[in-house]
Structure 1
Amino acid sequence: MDQLLSIDMDLDSVNTDRRVHDLSAEKLSGLAWVKSHVSEINQWVNNDGFALLRGLNIVSTNQFSTILETIFGEPLSQYIYRSSPRTALRNNIYTTTEYHADQVILQHNENAYSNSWPMRMGFFCVIPARSGGNTPLADSREVYKHIPSHIREKFEQLGVMYVRNYGDIDLPWQEVFQTNSKVEVQEYCRKNHIEFEWKSDDHLQTRQHRPAAAVHPVTGEKVWFNQAHLFHHSSIDGPESAAMRNSIGIDRLPRNAFYGDGSDIDPKDIAQINDVYRQLTFSYQWQRNDILLLDNMLYTHGREAYQGTRKVLVGMA
């Protein structure tokens, strides 16, 4: 059986490499500069998986939206089938997940629990936190390679089943699906191969089966692409996890993850996956007006705990 070994990667070199593009010397506005460098920006993301644009003059949320649409070459996506609380602003720009400042958001590829996900993401730092609050990244290709083979092979063989219960503790189904119509929810579920059951008038449970890994459509590289570690009941910190299971029962947990055949995932395997993420994670110190562009299949993102006011926005396509 494989043992999880220390991962020998020089992450310090990643932090200081070509992926940070300091544009503070540019005299044009952020939008004007982006319009004249679209091909170059996309080449940076295509080559490296992400790019941090630093020093641009950005004056509004609307300008950020236009910048992303200019770079992505298409309108931004609406965020439906949500898994976390956030506020919608104009033009499909959203606040990042609004969990309390003392909570860490684990590494994840956006919407990897779904059969539809954004290929590109853009983050905009409006107000950096006084301390902490960075958006750590990890290379999904390296995560795939470094997960012990006995764990990786079982996940690849069986896939992941995501189970969600809406409304009691987690987000209400009306917010997740962005509608008050049960008919529209059911249509969305059928269209997206999501099993659903109304346990009561306001209690919806869904199950969705997804692969644990994926092949990037452009690079052809294999990536670890799931949120089993994020959904699994063991991801709840401290005594809260056991207390929640005991009070409402494991079948009514707001979210949980199983192997695709419905069998339990060993919490020790989830812990090893999280250890791989921790060892491969690196981050940049947010500065005001930073824009971070990601290939959502090649890189995961998360959030550090923080102190002070923090405002980071996101758009996807």
Structure 2
Amino acid sequence: MTGVIPADPPRLGPVTGRLDGNEHTSLAVYELGPDITDHMGWAKTHRDGIRAVLGTRGAVLLRGLPVDLELFDGIVRAVGGDPLPYTERSTPRTSVTEAIYTSTEYPADQSIPMHNENSYSDSWPGLLFFFCQIAAAAGGATPIADSRSVLRLIPAEVRERFAGGVVYARAFREGLGLSWQEAFQTGDQAAVEAYCARHGQSFQWTEDGLRTRHHRPAEQTEPHAGERVWFNQANLFHASSLDEEVLEALLSLYDEADLPRHAYLGDGSPIDPADLAAIKAAYDEASFSFPWRPGDLMVIDNMLCAHGRAPFTGERRILVAMTA
């Protein structure tokens, strides 16, 4: 079920928004047409209104902005405050500026499963900003899903099995996934050890690189709305998220402990593939997507809203910034 959700559209000054989505996930859309000439001034004036909508709906889309990197950076700072660096990395990105990155650089024919950014860590960004410089010729949407709805849609027995949380296991080695130097943004082993100690991660240096393990909850309480949300990356970290042929090739070369990423239940036991399928079904039912247009700027509350990426053809360039 898609389309406009019956509701009073939120109004931000001279611009009336509309709510697009489905029965689970909605997106407040503001068309900043030719009557809005000072986009930075509009964002600063309506910062509190945008934040209020994000705190209830979880996602806002500003349409009709110029494709201007400086403007994007300014709106990020006006709405979210100082941008955060991308730390404890798990996917390849390129820095565009000190605080703006490309979206995850996976092959265009691959999907990126739904997830909440850095939910595998004990610290994560509060807001994510996605800015479309170049829209793909086909596909390439960034689907979103309300994390409260995802939690409700996951069967109770699956949630019960995840009550003890998720263990994230990573193995870093040169030429396979991210190196530990890229993931931790340092070449200093002592700095990595100190980071792991501060963030509750176990670590083991190997002759090939580094292994880490991290135990985190599967659910969280979003502090502003005060609601429980499904907030983890078990589905993305689990090795089964890889292409079947890729996984088979990796397991023919390496032990499970040396896979770049893997996930277990909180007690260290394997996750049942049927449970992962149920989680994917919940994301699929809750998710909503729209075709990108150049100049689109989507802001999401990272705890209230999960996101992913659809496969695409042609050139696509979506930039990302994160704030607290």
Give the TM-score range, shorter chain: over 0.9
Of 39, 42, 47, which aligns to 2:48? 39
1:301 alignment partner, SS class? strand
2:88 alignment partner, SS class? coil
- Counterpart of 2:11 in structure 1 is none
Q: What are the Cα deviations for residues 20-46 of structure 1, in whole angstroms up to 9, with x where unaligned?
A: 111113332322221222222222212
Between the aligned partners of 2:143 and 2:318, the Cα distance in structure 1 is 13
Give the drift of 1:174. 0.5
Query: Is 2:157 aligned against 1:150?
Result: yes
Counterpart contact for 2:56–2:225, Cα < 8 Å: no
Q: How does 1:1-317 map to 2 (within 5 A)?
A: 10-13=1-4, 15=20, 19-59=28-68, 61-72=69-80, 74-156=81-163, 158-168=164-174, 169-200=176-207, 202-317=208-323
Between the aligned partners of 1:144 and 1:185, the Cα distance in structure 2 is 34
Amino acid at match of 1:250: E
Between the aligned partners of 1:145 and 1:18, the Cα distance in structure 2 is 19
Between the aligned partners of 1:103 and 1:24, the Cα distance in structure 2 is 34
Between the aligned partners of 1:18 and 1:165, the Cα distance in structure 2 is 37
Counterpart contact for 1:101–1:306, Cα < 8 Å: yes
Give the drift of 1:18. 6.8
Residues 91 and 66 (structure 1 numbering): CA distance in 2 closer, same or farther, change over 3 Å? farther
Unaligned runs of 5+ in 1: 1-9
Counterpart contact for 2:27–2:59, Cα < 8 Å: no
- Counterpart of 2:12 in structure 1 is none
Counterpart contact for 1:62–1:90, Cα < 8 Å: no
Point out 4+ residue stretches in structure 1 off by more than 4 angstroms: none
Counterpart contact for 2:67–2:294, Cα < 8 Å: no
Decide which structure has greater strand share. Answer: 2
Between the aligned partners of 2:44 and 2:37, the Cα distance in structure 1 is 10
Counterpart contact for 1:177–1:185, Cα < 8 Å: yes
Q: Across the two proteins, how many residue pairs are aligned to each other?
A: 304
Give the drift of 1:47. 2.5
Between the aligned partners of 1:57 and 1:252, the Cα distance in structure 2 is 45
Compute the RMSD of aligned alpha carbons. Answer: 1.4
Identity of aligned residues (%): 42
